[in-house]
Chains A and B, each alone.
Chain A
Amino acid sequence: ELKVEQNPLFLSMQEGKNYTIYCNYSTTSDRLYWYRQDPGKSLESLFVLLSNGAVKQEGRLMASLDTKARLSTLHITAAVHDLSATYFCAVVRDSNYQLIWGAGTKLIIKP
């Protein structure tokens, strides 16, 4: 059974600091997605990672995928308050195209 685990589930950090969110999954998959959700809002796609070694960057966020380790990371560089949100990773179950979701990481960035 495909399971996805994120850690930490909650992260409070100061502006200007760097940190990493981890996403582990239990069975083989080479497609992983990162989404952002602001309070009371819907889910916004951030990154699609399609192959081993894939790295994508957008502003202060960088995501990477290691399919051999079944691990993706979302790295935040020099955090700013606007990045406060909940971040979800999700992995495709190839048999039915469903996304299997992590529990989410609630990120609070304090000025």
Chain B
Amino acid sequence: EAEVAQSPRYKITEKSQAVAFWCDPISGHATLYWYRQILGQGPELLVQFQDESVVDDSQLPKDRFSAERLKGVDSTLKIQPAELGDSAMYLCASSLVHRGQYEQYFGPGTRLTVT
């Protein structure tokens, strides 16, 4: 069964350092989402891609976060510099968006701890 892949699974970094997360969506899924989930809360959408284009990045803290999906397949989310408040689970999801089908499939996530 096809799955969304993410790496690394865990990342510990010191504040002010740079970190990067990678996501490979399910093959053929044109829409890709990055979420941040703080412990005890629901997922918060950071950025949505349709193929290689950003559809919505209104909740992305652009002073320190960036996201790209250059060839419309895999994607990278970067934080520079990391802050203590960035400690969270970062989830990638993909979906095959067509009429009536918007189900999002989630990867295993990257647990980030900033010290």
Considering only residues 78-106 of chain B, those with a C-beta below 8 Å from chain A are 89, 91, 93, 95, 97, 100, 102-106
Of A31, A48, A99, A103, most buried by chain B (CB within 10 Å of CB) is A99
Please pick, from B55, B103, B104, B107, the residue contacting A96 in the complex, using a CB distance under 8 A: B55
Chain A minimum-CB-distance residue to B108: A42
B40 to chain A, nearest CB (A): 8
Q: Which of B43, B100, B102 contacts A101 (CB 8 A)?
A: B43
Point out the residues of chain B lying under 8 angstroms from A98, CB to CB: 33, 45, 48, 56
* Interface footprint category on A: 20 to 34
Closest partner residue, chain B, to A88 (CB atom): B42
Residue pairs across A and B with CB atoms within 8 Å: the count is: 51
Within 8 A of B (CB), among A34-53: 35, 40-45, 48, 50
With A40-B111, A43-B43, A101-B43 known as contacts, the answer to whether A48 contacts B91 (CB < 8 A) is: no
CB of A45 within 8 A of CB of B103, answer yes
Q: Which of A31, A40, A42, A45 contacts B91 (CB 8 A)?
A: A42
> Which residues of A lie under 8 Å from residue B41 when comparing CB positions?
103-104
Do residues A103 and B45 form an inter-chain contact, with CB atoms below 8 A?
no
- With a cutoff of 8 Å between Cβ atoms, the chain A residues found around residue B105 in the complex are 45
- The 15 listed contacts between A and B (C-beta, < 8 Å) are A33-B104, A42-B89, A42-B106, A42-B108, A45-B103, A45-B106, A50-B100, A88-B43, A97-B48, A97-B102, A98-B45, A99-B104, A103-B41, A103-B42, A104-B42
* CB-based closest 5 A-B pairs: A101-B42, A43-B106, A42-B109, A42-B106, A92-B102
Binding site for B on A (CB under 8 A): 31, 33, 35, 40-45, 48, 50, 88, 92, 96-99, 101-104
